[in-house]
Structure 1
Amino acid sequence: MDKMKVSYEAMLGLAAEMTLDEAVLKFRSDRLYQAIDKALASGDKDTFRRLTDELKALNV
């Protein structure tokens, strides 16, 4: 019974970590999209390219 409890707790911990990772990734992606839109609107090509490269790396 103790072995099952340890396994269950490990699985819960893993699920919580995966959920947190997904939330952080979504938050960062949303921020990058906002910054990309701003750079595009202002015509800042260098910032646009840097941010889109960062977004691509994030989605790998």
Structure 2
Amino acid sequence: MDKMKVAYEAMLGLAAELVLDDAVLKFQTKQIHEAIDKALATGDEDTFYRLAKQLNALKR
């Protein structure tokens, strides 16, 4: 029975890690989108391209 408990706890830990990773990815993506919008509004081409590159790296 202890082996099942250890396996369950390991799976629960992995599930929690996946949820946390997804939340962090969504937060970072939102932050970058907002910064891209700001760069576009101000005409900051360099920042736009840098942020677009970061966004593409997150999607991989």
Per the shorter chain, which TM-score range? over 0.9
The correspondence of residues 1-60 of structure 1 with structure 2, limited to 5 A, is 1-60=1-60
Query: Identity rate of aligned residues, in percent?
Result: 67
Q: How many residues align?
A: 60
- TM (normalized to structure 2)? 0.98
Any stretches of 5+ residues in structure 2 without a counterpart?
none
CA RMSD across the alignment: 0.4
Alpha-carbon distance, 1:13 to partner: 0.2
Task: For 1:58 and 1:42, locate their aligned partners in 2 and report how far apart those are by CA, in whole Å.
Answer: 24
- TM (normalized to structure 1)? 0.98
Alpha-carbon distance, 1:51 to partner: 0.2
SS in 2 for 1:55: helix
Q: Tell me which amino acid in the other structure corresponds to 2:15.
A: A
Q: Tell me which amino acid in the other structure corresponds to 1:30.
A: K
Any stretches of 5+ residues in structure 1 without a counterpart?
none
